[in-house]
Structure 1
Amino acid sequence: MESTLHKIYHDPAHPAGLASLNKLRIAAGEASGVTPPLSQVKHYLEQDDTYTLHKPARIHFPRNRVLVTGVDKQFQADLVDMCEYVADNDNLRYLLTCIDVFSKYAWVRCLTNKTGTVVSAAFEDILSEGGIHVKLQTDEGKEFYNTTFKQLMKRYNTKHFSTASEVKCSIVERFNRSFKGRMWKYLTSANSRRYVDVKPDLTQAYNNAYHRSIQMAPAEVNKDNEKSVFNALYKTRPQRELCFKFNIGDTVRISKLRGKFRKGYEQTYTDEIFTVKERIGRQPPVYRLADLAGEVLKGSFYEPEIQHVVVDENKTFKIENILARKKVGRKKQVLVKWLGWPDSFNSWIPEKDIVEA
């Protein structure tokens, strides 16, 4: 049956060639007279690079909530590129946006550039107005990861961190969409490209508008009503039975971070293969992964971000380059870089083991 599956799947002229699991299963049944079990077709595809490297990757799926217990506990910050409007806005090129994760109260500062010095000065101005927060979450951009900003965080005793997830700072990014939406509407209404003068008004309007998630305006949140805000944010969800899709030791590929305009036919999963190191019982569950050398990866991964693959002793791996050659006695060996794998996996192999694709 495996030969039938392989013949059909890799035939570009066949209606089920390079298609979905179900189409392949139906076609294999028609070709052989016996419809193979779903598990058999799934196992075949999980060991096929063509399928596993290009399997559609999900971007939108439920994630763990960011849990913050009160105001002044955690900021999220981000930069918004406004270079397109620089000529009409006093040479200002960026907006530094910052939000209190709990209260949703936001601050916006205009920047001439995104150097560490300029970003740090603007963020210190926010701290002087918004108070010192215990934590700050940003993406891993150099505007936030530099000596000047690091010294600022140390001076204010603020823990600065980033996450490895594709969704970096979801709350401030959601604010950015709301703020820019208001801004674009104003520019259209005023028939203008100048936003800098109205930026304080837009910020104030946002902070004083009713926010559905906290059931009041961000400006109304304070220490006295923290408990009611917490209850609004973190209403008890019905607990589902915890069910893990992957087992410890499973071999998996990781979904590639897909840009906004990445085409669907480009590779969607990594060439490199990893193993499941740990299962974490959250809602939804997440996993810690390690590479095949045992080094644990930074961060955790949701089930839609990884894909089970079958690796057996007959599996072949593609070579990107031959880096060096040598002889060990009468045997020829080559140092190879494996396609899609980091340099730490470069290795010497017998030259005779190389086969033409």
Structure 2
Amino acid sequence: MEISELYDLIGKELAGELSEVEREVLHAWLAQATEEERLVYDEIRLFWQGPKPVANPADTARAFDRLLARIDEAEQPAPAGEPTPQATEADETGGRVVAMPRASRWRRLWLAAASVAVLATGGTVAYRQYAAAHTGAAPLSYEERTNPRGTKSKVLLADGTAVWLNADSHLWFPATFSGARREVYLEGEAFFDVKRNEQMPFVIHVGRHEVRVLGTSFNVKAYQDDDAVETAVVTGRVAFIRAALPAAAKRDTIYVVPDQKVVYSKASHELRVEQVNGLDYAAWNQRSLIFQATPLAEVAKTLERQYNVTVRFEDERLRNCRLTGRFKDQSLREVLRLIEMTRAFDFELHNNSLLIKGLGCDSEAPERLTI
């Protein structure tokens, strides 16, 4: 296995994004790993579980640079007649550098460990800043917009692109765009109205995948705890670029046009295209909630994010029920009263805790309820 594939798998394991197939591949490697390789793997996990590192991507990138400088220094040959020392010290990103022989065979493994550490703790933005500094490119200054649960916001980017950021979401974007592409990073959900520029494509990084356009309007939903990544198009054409799978040599690209949605399954890695009403996916930034035969488990996630509540089910079978309904600028209690009219559910709402009760639905043929 290539070392890049290895630390990609380890990074996904730490982030909780490892599929069953990838987990089998990683465990197979661990079963035949050398003592040194196993030590690096264990230290990466210790790094992740240790004190929380700096949150600013630029600070993380600089700390990563200092870490690599110490690795370089540790690999310098010792003066003749002196024993090869070992170093153990804390690194600035919050983890540790363990006892490390001065031997070039370690460098490749430690670079992998350091790369996973910075990717896991500082994110792709920090790593790209580090890479830019070491390839002669001018590093970009990234800003972060964070929306907690129950809030939404609009961001106007330097090129005139408008971004509506949904609740419980994060957007990283440069103060100015330069180079061949306009690149931003998203975790959560956002609606984009991209200013057209055929000479500089607009790229949204969602995990290891990309959404690429020239100028169009579309919605991207990419929450870490969701089972899928979705992109729905209102105008123009959008390319969804899936990261290469562990056994593949290239990435897959699928194009979607207005009133289409591409769905990427994190579990199966499958891509599919569905016919939808694109405008429904822009409705949330106009204070509307639209459900189309949506499993109640997904409805619960939406309510948690939009109204900043914790949702529990008295009967787990309720998760299989599917709900169709439209709500416009209504409070949580108003939404719940309307859902109660189906006579399939009861609710208990205390402070920020919502309990959904009811008889449940047949898991083989879930009931479809329309409001």
Under TM normalisation by the shorter chain, which class is it?
Answer: under 0.3
TM-score, normalised via structure 2 length: 0.21
Q: Which has the higher contact order (CA 8 A, sep 6+)?
A: 1
Select the structure that is richer in strand: 2
Give the TM-score taking structure 1 as reference length: 0.21
